[in-house]
């Protein structure tokens, strides 16, 4: 893999991890479209840690305030409710963690199938359209209840399959539960932080077993930085975009990508 390829894939990962268009689907399809070799576990691991860095830096204040609220709760002091938000994030993370652990091998096999990624990207588009059509009210992140966190958490579990967008499914679930778009996106990104961290740890474990081979350190670093920078800028842009725009444009995007992939699949076959 060249450094240019690493930067391109890093940008793809950084953008599509947070845009509701599926990072896993794009990372399966883009190398397939361009005829590139599979970048391998080491590179994939670095890209995930890059997006984790992006979301932690962007929301560091939120995490800090949640931790302070927990400390104040333990000390018997008044809190601003941020400790409750942290509890909801933990509860909402459980479905994806449990399902991912139990069915890891099955979902891992799907990552080698462009056809599976294409099918699930089509499904992502329908999820986004359904959420927009179903969405009626506009509650804020402070209105999230336990049942909402679990509902959004199970939606996040769907995104273990390549092609189903994690941010797309969780933002859509937030809209269905009555959140406004910016609040749904904000909770989606906060909820995704433990999952991205956990996925990175699992990949590091696998990486320790197989080792790093075939990719120069400078190439790995380039992909990592591209992923982190693109992810940070994408989060900032999307939160502003959703203040006055719908998700329909992203549904159109994944359907176009899926259609082009189907055409290429048929031509190659």
Task: Report the pLDDT averaged over residues 1-15.
Answer: 90
Are the C-beta atoms of 63 and 56 separated by less than 8 Å? Answer: yes
Q: What gap in Å lies between CA 137 and CA 86, rounded to an integer?
A: 24
Q: What is the pLDDT, as a whole number, of residue 268?
A: 66
Cα 94 from chain centre: 16
Q: What gap in Å lies between CA 158 and CA 171, rounded to an integer?
A: 13
If one counts the domains in the chain, the total is 1
Q: What gap in Å lies between CA 4 and CA 151, rounded to an integer?
A: 40
Task: Report the pLDDT averaged over residues 215-241.
Answer: 91
What sign does the CA torsion over 186, 188, 194, 200 have? negative
Q: What is the pLDDT, as a whole number, of residue 196?
A: 85
Give the residue with greater pLDDT, 59 vs 37.
59
User: DSSP letter string over 16-80?
Assistant: HHHSTT-HHHHHHHHHHHHTPPP--HHHHHHHHHHHHHHHHHHTHHHHHHHHHHHHHHHTT----
Q: Does residue 108 have a pLDDT over 80?
A: no
Q: What is the pLDDT, as a whole number, of residue 218?
A: 87
Q: What is the pLDDT, as a whole number, of residue 92?
A: 93
Give the residue with greater pLDDT, 264 vs 196.
196
What count of residues does the chain have?
269
Could you say which DSSP state residue 113 is in? -
Which pTM value belongs to this model? 0.88
Task: Report the pLDDT averaged over residues 85-90.
Answer: 93
Q: Does residue 219 have a pLDDT over 70?
A: yes
Place of tokens 């409750």: 84
Nearest to 195 by CA among 16, 22, 67, 55: 55
Task: Report the pLDDT averaged over residues 160-181.
Answer: 90
Q: Does residue 248 have a pLDDT over 90?
A: yes
Give the structural domain span for 215. 3-268
Nearest to 134 by CA among 181, 178, 182: 178
Are the C-beta atoms of 187 and 21 separated by less than 8 Å? Answer: no
Residue 111's pLDDT band (cuts 50, 70, 90)? low
């Amino acid at each position: 893999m060249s450094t240019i390829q690493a930067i391109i894939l890093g940008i793809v990962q950084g953008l599509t991890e947070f845009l509701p268009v599926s990072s896993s689907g794009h990372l399966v399809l883009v190398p397939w479209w361009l005829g590139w070799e599979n970048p391998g576990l080491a590179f994939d691991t670095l890209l995930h840690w890059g997006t984790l860095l992006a979301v932690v830096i962007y929301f560091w204040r939120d995490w800090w305030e949640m931790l302070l609220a927990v400390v104040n709760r333990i000390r018997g002091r008044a809190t601003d409710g941020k400790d409750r938000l942290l509890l909801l994030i933990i509860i909402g993370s459980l479905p994806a963690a449990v399902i991912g652990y139990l069915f890891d091998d099955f979902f891992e096999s799907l990552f080698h199938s462009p056809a599976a990624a294409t099918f699930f990207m089509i499904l992502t588009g329908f999820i986004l359209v359904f959420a927009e059509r179903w969405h009626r009210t506009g509650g804020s992140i402070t209105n999230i209840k336990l049942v909402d966190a679990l509902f959004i958490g199970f939606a996040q579990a769907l995104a273990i399959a390549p092609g189903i967008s994690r941010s797309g499914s969780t933002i859509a679930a937030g809209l269905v539960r009555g959140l406004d778009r910016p609040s749904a996106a904000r909770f989606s990104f906060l909820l995704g932080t433990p999952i991205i961290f956990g996925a990175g740890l699992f990949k590091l474990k696998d990486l320790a077993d197989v080792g790093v081979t075939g990719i120069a350190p400078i190439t790995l670093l380039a992909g990592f930085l591209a992923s982190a920078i693109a992810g940070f800028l994408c989060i900032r842009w999307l939160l502003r975009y959703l203040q006055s725009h719908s998700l329909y444009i992203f549904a159109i995007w994944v359907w176009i990508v899926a259609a082009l992939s189907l055409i290429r699949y048929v031509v190659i076959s």
